[in-house]
Structure 1
């Protein structure tokens, strides 16, 4: 199964998986989060997790329409 699969829309993704899916460095995600510019995450203990479907929905709001 790949991250782009729609089989598990509520699957929780780690920051490494989000980084791979969005092709962004992990540090860029941390930086954008600290500025309030990134999709909200769930904090489970010391770990950040994102629901796959919420991340993709948030991403759709970032379309650059010229």
Structure 2
């Protein structure tokens, strides 16, 4: 299991850290894992969340 910090997640998605915090607070982001006092994310969970955000192909 490969884990990422919030800074690494933000960098991977090319968004500010505040965006990740906001999405998490709204319950609209991949589930975090609490390790001590720190939150981390499994790369597979972030990738699955990202894939779920893909827009569908427009109807012809």
Taking structure 1 as the reference length, the TM-score comes to 0.79
Give 3-state SS (helix, strand or coil) of 1:48's partner: strand
1:11 and 2:2 matched:
yes
**Structure whose residues are more often helix by fraction:** 2
RMSD, aligned α-carbons:
0.9
Give the paired residue count.
57
Q: Which runs of 5+ in 1 are unaligned?
A: 1-9
Q: Which runs of 5+ in 2 are unaligned?
A: none
Of the two, which has the highest radius of gyration?
2
1:30 to 21, 32, 35: 21
Taking structure 2 as the reference length, the TM-score comes to 0.86
